[in-house]
Amino acid sequence: MAEPLGFFTDTTVCIGCKACEVACKEWNQLPSSHGGAPTLSGDSYDNTRQLDGLHWRHVKFVEQFSPDRADGRWLLMSDVCKHCVRAGCMEVCPTGAIMRTEFDTVVIQSDVCNGCRDCIAACPFGVIGINPVSNTAQKCTLCYDRLRAGMEPACSKACPTDSINFGTIADLKKMAAARVGQLHERGEQRAYLYGADEKMLGGLNSFFLLVDKPEVYGLPPDPKMPSRNLTPSSLWSTLGAVVIGLMGIFSFRNRGATARRLEEDDVERRRTA
Partner 1 sequence: MNAVGLPSTFFTDPPEWRWLIIGYFFIGGLAGGCYFLAVLIDFFGGAVDRPLARLGYFVAFPAVVVSGLLLIVDLRRPDRFWHMLIQSDTGHPMLKPYSPMSLGSWALLLFGGFAFLSFLAALEDAGVLRWPRLAMFRPPHIVGRVIGILGGILAFFVAGYTGVLLAVTNRPIWSDTTLLGLNFLISAASTSAALLILLGHRRWYWRSSVAALERFDAMVLVLELIALVALIASLGSMARVWLNAWGALLVVGVFLLGIVIPLVLQWRPNLLGERWSAPAAAVLVLVGGFLLRVVVVLSSESLGVLG
Q: Which residues bind ligand SF4 (CB under 6 A)?
A: 81-84, 87-89, 106, 123, 125, 127-128, 139
114 binds, among ligand SF4, partner 1, none (CB under 5 to 8 A by kind): partner 1
The smaller minimum CB distance to ligand SF4, of residues 30 and 127, is found at 127
Smallest separation (angstroms) from ligand SF4 to the CB of 22: 21
C-alpha 119/C-alpha 107 separation (Å) is 12
Smallest separation (angstroms) from partner 1 to the CB of 271: 15
151 binds, among partner 1, ligand SF4, none (CB under 5 to 8 A by kind): none
C-alpha 128/C-alpha 80 separation (Å) is 10
87 binds, among partner 1, ligand SF4, none (CB under 5 to 8 A by kind): ligand SF4
The smaller minimum CB distance to partner 1, of residues 120 and 196, is found at 120
202 binds, among ligand SF4, partner 1, none (CB under 5 to 8 A by kind): none
C-alpha 273/C-alpha 268 separation (Å) is 9
R_g over Cα of the chain: 27
83 binds, among ligand SF4, partner 1, none (CB under 5 to 8 A by kind): ligand SF4
Smallest separation (angstroms) from partner 1 to the CB of 196: 18
Smallest separation (angstroms) from ligand SF4 to the CB of 105: 8
Smallest separation (angstroms) from partner 1 to the CB of 117: 4
120 binds, among partner 1, ligand SF4, none (CB under 5 to 8 A by kind): partner 1
The smaller minimum CB distance to partner 1, of residues 54 and 93, is found at 93
Cβ contact 124:224 at 8 Å: yes
The smaller minimum CB distance to partner 1, of residues 186 and 199, is found at 199
The smaller minimum CB distance to ligand SF4, of residues 21 and 52, is found at 52
Q: What angle do CA 145, 49, 212 make, to 5 degrees?
A: 95
Smallest separation (angstroms) from partner 1 to the CB of 256: 4
The smaller minimum CB distance to ligand SF4, of residues 128 and 155, is found at 128
